[in-house]
Homo-oligomer: A and B are copies of this chain.
Amino acid sequence: MRLFELCGEDKNLTFSPFVWRTKMALAHKGLAYEKVPCNFTNKEAFAQSGSKTVPVIEDGGVWVSDSWDIACYLEDNYKDSPSLFGGDAGRGLALFLNNWAGPHLILPMFHILAPDIPQYLTTVDAEYFRSSREKFFGHPIDELLPHKEKNMERFKKAISPIRATLKAQDFISGNSPAYGDYIIFGAYQWARQVGSIDLLEGEKYIAPWFEKMLDMYDGLGRGAKLAVRD
């Protein structure tokens, strides 16, 4: 199996929150794979998938893209290894969480992280990142900087269900970690790798959960390369 992932100028700095979902899912399933780091502007390696974004996997000639579709593919094709969803209701509700995470976790987080990112990209990628995200936000990403406090407040409000859930139980998915945990882990890992603000400060319930997640699968998350600020 091959996993196509996003990297910075440093090929070992692989920080996409969506790719992290897939990496944790592959580890959960105990599957080995070859990593193929790709820049934002270098999509030829996985062109056959028809996707313009990572994660993409190629599994014996089968191409699958989109982190959710990859999770379902792994669940349905590797039934003998531990389940990512724990049954139909677990899969259904994990999709709800997945659909929540885009606009209500990743997006508020991106308002805080976006200005931190281009410094770690190749010159070509940084230019692409700045112009595509300027189009998305309707203004240059650096204009987010003066609103950091307000954006932080919005983020802290948005994640209240994560906080309340981890106050009541060890993992988002109940007694043991599963795909729901990986969705949220990916976001905080992204922030840990490239962000300049500690989003877990004061998070009595989320921070200890994140530490446990970093240690899973022989420290897969903890061992990840962190961006080195100038």
Beyond A90-B93, A92-B175, A96-B165, 16 additional contacts (C-beta under 8 Å) are A88-B173, A89-B90, A91-B174, A92-B169, A92-B172, A93-B173, A93-B174, A96-B161, A96-B162, A96-B172, A97-B161, A99-B160, A99-B161, A100-B161, A104-B160, A104-B161
Q: Decide if A94 is an interface residue (CB 8 Å cutoff).
A: yes
Distance between Cα atoms of A161 and B162 in the complex (Å):
15
Chain B's nearest CB lies how many Å from the CB of A63?
21
CA distance A70 to B23 in the complex (A): 37
What are 17 inter-chain pairs, A to B, with CB distance below 8 A?
A87-B89, A88-B174, A88-B176, A89-B173, A91-B174, A92-B169, A92-B172, A92-B173, A92-B178, A93-B94, A93-B173, A96-B162, A96-B172, A100-B161, A103-B157, A103-B160, A104-B161
* A87 cross-chain contacts in B, Cβ below 8 A: 86-87, 89-90
Q: Are B178 and A89 in contact (CB-based, < 8 A)?
A: yes
State which size class the interface on A falls in. Answer: 20 to 34
Query: Which residues of B have CB within 8 Å of A96?
Result: 93, 97, 161-162, 165, 172, 180
Write the residues of chain A forming the contact surface with B, with a CB cutoff of 8 angstroms. Answer: 83, 85-97, 99-100, 103-104, 157, 160-162, 164-165, 168-169, 171-176, 178, 180
* B-chain residues with CB within 8 Å of residue A161 when the two chains form the complex: 96-97, 99-100, 103-104
Copies of this chain per assembly: 2
Which chain B residues border A100 with CB–CB below 8 Å? Answer: 100, 161
Q: Which residues of B are found within 8 Å of A83, using beta-carbon distances?
A: 89
Given the complex of chains A and B, what is the CA–CA distance between A88 and B191 in angstroms? 29
Q: In whole angstroms, what is the CA distance A169 to B91 when docked?
A: 11
With a CB–CB cut-off of 8 A, which chain B residues contact A91?
Answer: 174
Smallest Cβ-Cβ distance to A89: which chain B residue:
B86
